[in-house]
Amino acid sequence: MFHNILVAVDGSPHADKALADAIDLADSEHAKLTLFTAIVRPPTFAYLGASGEAVTTIFQQAEAEADSFLRRARDTVPITCPSPLC
């Protein structure tokens, strides 16, 4: 029934539950599981009056947090590969 399953992760308990359910569904349906996250742009007042370097740091921290969510989710997914090339 399902060939591809897309799951958004953000580090929240709800996203963790959705990932667990998606893993089970992908396993039972032999479907491809794709994970994604988004970088939340900090509100303007967070960097109002800040120098270019400070703004860059704010965005780098947001990217690092999103990468962390994605890595943690990826590490939750069991690796199964039917191909001998894996």
Instruction: For residue 34, list its beta bridge partners.
Output: 6
Angstrom distances, CA of residue 6 to CA of 39, 46, 64, 84, 85: 17, 31, 21, 25, 24
Q: In 10 A of CB 25, how many CB atoms?
A: 15
Q: Please give the pLDDT value at position 81.
A: 60
pLDDT digits (tens), the chain, 86 positions? 889 999 999 999 999 999 999 999 999 998 999 999 998 777 777 777 777 787 788 888 889 999 999 999 999 998 866 555 54
pLDDT confidence of residue 50? 72
For the chain, give every domain's residue range: 4-76
